[in-house]
Amino acid sequence: MADSLAYAHMAEDFMPGMTVAVARDGDILFSRGYGKADVEMGADASPETVYAIASITKQFTAAAIMRLVEQGKMSLDDPITHYLPDYPVQGHHVTIRHLLNHTSGIKSYTELDREADRKRRLGLSYEDMIDLFAKEPFDFPPGEQFRYNNSGYYLLGQIIGRVTGRPYEEYVEGELLQPLGLHYTLFGDPGRLNPKRAKGYKYERSKEGKLFPAFRVRMQGDAAGGLSSTVGDLIRWTHLLHSGQVVSQESLQQMTSPTILPTAPPRTYGFGLDLAKLEDHGKVVHVGDTEGFNASLAHYPADGLSVVVLANSDDTQHEKVEEFLARAALDLKIPQVPDLPLTKEEVGRYDGTYALQVGKRTAELRVLAEAGKLKVQLGDGRAFRLRFQGNDSFVPVFDDNTRLVFIMENGRAEGIELHQGERVSQGKRKL
């Protein structure tokens, strides 16, 4: 079943390569690579292929912090100015805990304007990174709200360096990765030669619908998303973490506990880990998304099950692949979405460009005819094939939670509704 899903992805041209693994109690049951790790060199993806794992890095950073707490070298409720005395907290009281659970209110560097993003891509020092986001107004008072925040984890990496007297990356590799036997997990400096490393790819309409190599941003002390790894190492890491061999069970409990907010419901995020469910099966999960790469790492504690999906394109539906593999391993029903046939005449009714109102902005949504099927493309993003459900309704391949419903007039689609959960966006055909 895993093969069928992987090959379906390859047929849809979602990515050049992907590697997956499924394990129970740390023992790998299934692991395989599909497609190409490097298209230009013709290198096949394999279980040994090293991929950028982006924000999955955050759980390694959180674990490093918890180990320092256990050693009495810091407290979760210490103010960050104890370690970064020159950081401009703008009169706020920001703690280590606020950084770990994304409640600091500090502006995330990934939410800045294009000019700031351009500067960050050049590879900035700590001082330049701080200049980039630290003077931005806080999004909210610390502890009041939750907002996913890469700046917070970047600062945690700097704090680890101040506490240990060693650069963050050197400390994590020397004190965490190598002692745990994670020999293929490393920080992703493009200049660091590794023949097993996958090359990241992007897809854009401006490139005539072709994959092209993605630009890799390199930051010093990237504790928010700088690691690369293999499926085997991530399986080993997950088993060691959840069996109490990385941090204490008390620390793990804190890492996997929801974040309590004063005026809002609890958030499922703990410290570098998120909590979710697949039917009645609880899971601890985190995903990673960066230019040219997608990653998903999920652990089902009660079942002892771990699932890893790594891909070298940022268009891959990695979370859907993870869920499919978990359902197969847990013997759960795999939902089947129909894909009804369309006549040439029916295809022509929907083909066209629509102006879709998404919140306060208008986006261009293109519906394209290809080999008797339809594809949908939002802006310059990836085109996904649509599965016909009948009654002018379509579901994109590998995204069963999204539905497109066309508004028909005189046998031709003149409008469109995009249903994403409870949110509905509407659009009209462009002339």
Convert the pLDDT of each residue in 13-54 to its tens digit.
557 899 999 999 999 999 999 989 998 899 999 999 999 999
Whole-number pLDDT of residue 249: 97
> What tokens appear for 1 in the block?
């079943």
Whole-number pLDDT of residue 150: 96
**Is residue 207's pLDDT more than 50?**
no
Residue 339 placed within a domain? no
Same domain, 42 and 168: yes
Residue 94 placed within a domain? yes
pLDDT tier for residue 206 given thresholds of 50, 70 and 90? very low
Whole-number pLDDT of residue 337: 75
Whole-number pLDDT of residue 420: 82
Same domain, 374 and 306: no
Residue 188 placed within a domain? yes
Same domain, 392 and 305: no
Convert the pLDDT of each residue in 153-196 to its tens digit.
999 999 999 999 999 999 999 999 999 999 999 986 655 657 78
Report for 2-11, 291-300, 388-397: range of highest mean pLDDT:
291-300
Residue 195 placed within a domain? yes
Query: 252 by DSSP, 3-state: which?
Result: helix
Same domain, 6 and 106: yes
Whole-number pLDDT of residue 398: 66
Same domain, 269 and 201: yes
Between 20-34, 200-214, 233-247, 312-326, the lowest mean confidence (pLDDT) is in 200-214
Same domain, 169 and 244: yes
Query: Considering the chain, what percentage of its residues have pLDDT values greater than 70?
Result: 91
**Is residue 121's pLDDT more than 90?**
no
- Which strand (E) or helix (H) includes residue 87? none
Which of these three, 277, 298, 329, is where a domain ends? 329
Between 268-282, 317-331, 373-387, the lowest mean confidence (pLDDT) is in 373-387
Are 415 and 430 in contact by the 8 Å Cβ rule? The answer is: no
Domain count, the chain: 2
> What tokens appear for 199 in the block?
């090359």
Alpha helices in 101-181 (DSSP H): 114-121, 126-133, 150-164, 168-172
Q: What is the pLDDT averaged over residues 253-258?
A: 98
Same domain, 264 and 360: no
Average pLDDT, the chain: 89
CATH of residue 408's domain is 2.40.128.50
pTM for the structure as a whole: 0.83
**For 329-401, where are the E strands, in sequence order?**
352-358, 361-370, 373-378, 384-390, 393-396
Q: What is the pLDDT averaged over residues 54-68?
A: 97
Q: How far is CA 273 from CA 36, 87, 225, in A?
A: 30, 26, 13
CA pair distance 402, 404, nearest whole angstrom: 7
Residue 145 placed within a domain? yes
Same domain, 236 and 292: yes
> What tokens appear for 139 in the block?
């999004």
Same domain, 396 and 267: no
Which of these three, 329, 359, 390, is where a domain ends? 329
Residue 338 placed within a domain? no
Same domain, 136 and 193: yes
Same domain, 313 and 370: no
> What tokens appear for 284 in the block?
């601890």
**Is residue 283's pLDDT more than 70?**
yes
Are 74 and 65 in contact by the 8 Å Cβ rule? The answer is: yes
DSSP structure class, residue 344: H
Domain span at residue 408 reads 344-429
